[in-house]
Structure 1
């Protein structure tokens, strides 16, 4: 089941913490519970993505994304992701999720999230997200303008640029 209670608690914490600028990092801390585990008694790889949601959605509120979506009647979709799983996470471990908007291009906003146990990174994901309206994808420039930071366009690291370039060569729909 989707962790609605966790998400509500994280929204409440985010509201107490206040707003962030689009280039700041949101952090949330979660405990791993039995419902988060797989048959190998470790944090399920699919659940990791769900817990990243719990960190990403309050970040969206803090930077003003949810307000922009409501005011402009925009939607939000994840258009791609690159995930790395590197360390096991077990029952009752406390994890911290850091969420950062890494940058944008003409169509997408790129969001980096990393999960830590103590100071050790356990998994990380780079999302390619798109704002949408009834006409399709909304240029990220409109979001930057909405926030009052029209020049926000940080240069992304080489590895992220390489992933973006590789995604642009990927065949869709897939051929089997």
Structure 2
């Protein structure tokens, strides 16, 4: 008998198996989102599948790709606009979709290579607000013996204003940009001339690398990993 229970008896029946499993799943999901950027880890494969199955193939690696985006509450900072880190995340998704659509990912698999983001530079020109839509326009500017150089613009569809601009250097590991492009076109293709501002940025990166090598006691000919 329970105290003050009016004669009711406690059955002592344990929670059902389904209820226990539900609690475990909820706990695991909460831990996943607390400890990892789970939403990004889910969106990345979905973005690749969407690019491969639902969007047309880019026949020219220099063709621009537009990737849609929306500012969500989880993207906001204390000033109630999209925080700086989210720009890099959205650019990563758009860049991955571009690599899938233009065939560079297929070429990497065929030649046993991979790409890593070696450098990026961001300019923020206007804030993106809550529930504001934007498009990330990604295009390949050119390449050299080690890396691809891409430009990514965050554009407001309302008036076409470029809210942010990113330059990215994708370092090719296990192959070279020239070999990848040659694999795509089945012939040798020369890179377009890189814009002047990109050449200045490359020079800055190289000067910075040499300075850091000297500070670390490494030779000036030592390459960055």
Give yes or no for TM over 0.5: yes
TM-score, normalised by the number of residues in structure 2: 0.71
More helix by share: 2
Given the alignment, which residue of 173, 190, 196 partners 1:158? 196
The aligned counterpart of 1:54 is 93
For 1:1-40, list aligned pairs within 5 A. Answer: 1=37, 2-15=39-52, 16-20=54-58, 21-40=60-79
Given the alignment, which residue of 146, 154, 172 partners 2:212? 172
SS of 1:3 mapped into structure 2: helix
Runs of 5+ in structure 2 lacking a partner? Answer: 1-36, 216-225
SS of 1:172 mapped into structure 2: helix
The aligned counterpart of 1:75 is 114
For 1:10-159, list aligned pairs within 5 A. Answer: 10-15=47-52, 16-20=54-58, 21-118=60-157, 119-133=160-174, 138-148=175-185, 149-159=187-197
Given that residues 112 and 126 in structure 1 are in contact (C-alpha distance below 8 angstroms), is that contact kept between their aligned partners in structure 2?
A: yes
- Measured in 1, the distance between the counterparts of 2:103 and 2:198 equals 24
Q: Which has the larger radius of gyration?
A: 2
- Measured in 2, the distance between the counterparts of 1:35 and 1:129 equals 28
Moved more, 42-51 or 74-83: 74-83
Count of matched residue pairs: 172
Higher relative contact order (CA 8 A, sep 6+): 1
More strand by share: 1
Q: Deviations over 1:92-129 (max 9, x none)?
A: 00010000010011211101101011211111111111
SS of 1:166 mapped into structure 2: helix
Runs of 5+ in structure 1 lacking a partner? Answer: none
- For the aligned residue pairs, the C-alpha RMSD in angstroms reads 1.9
Given that residues 85 and 123 in structure 1 are in contact (C-alpha distance below 8 angstroms), is that contact kept between their aligned partners in structure 2?
A: yes
Given that residues 10 and 28 in structure 1 are in contact (C-alpha distance below 8 angstroms), is that contact kept between their aligned partners in structure 2?
A: no
- Measured in 2, the distance between the counterparts of 1:52 and 1:142 equals 25
